[in-house]
Amino acid sequence: MKTRIKELRSREGLTQEELARLVGVRRETILFMEKGRYNPSLKLAYRVSRALKAKIEEIFLFEDDEMRSD
């Protein structure tokens, strides 16, 4: 999953550490989400969206392959 966390975090003037503190996770979790290595729970995705003042679907970008059911 791709994300726009880094872009939106920068827009809000937040560091990874500050965003992590706002949403209640470690800085490494933010780093892993930014790199697409960690898929957050719905609850965490909601907290990130609130902190970044954006809709969940504007932050987390699902690729077509992930949306397709076999």
The tens digit of pLDDT for each residue in 1-59 reads 899 999 999 999 999 999 999 999 999 999 999 999 999 999 999 999 999 999 999 99
Provide the domain limits for residue 20.
2-61
**Please, are residues 27 and 20 in contact by the beta-carbon 8 Å criterion?**
yes
User: In the numeric block, which tokens belong to residue 8?
Assistant: 């939106």
Residues paired with 2 in a beta bridge: 61
Alpha helical stretches, state H, 1-70: 5-11, 16-23, 27-34, 42-52, 56-59, 64-67
Is residue 35, in this structure, part of any structural domain at all? yes
Is residue 46, in this structure, part of any structural domain at all? yes
pTM for this model (two decimals): 0.85
7: CATH? 1.10.260.40
pLDDT for position 68: 52
pLDDT band at 64, cuts 50/70/90?
low
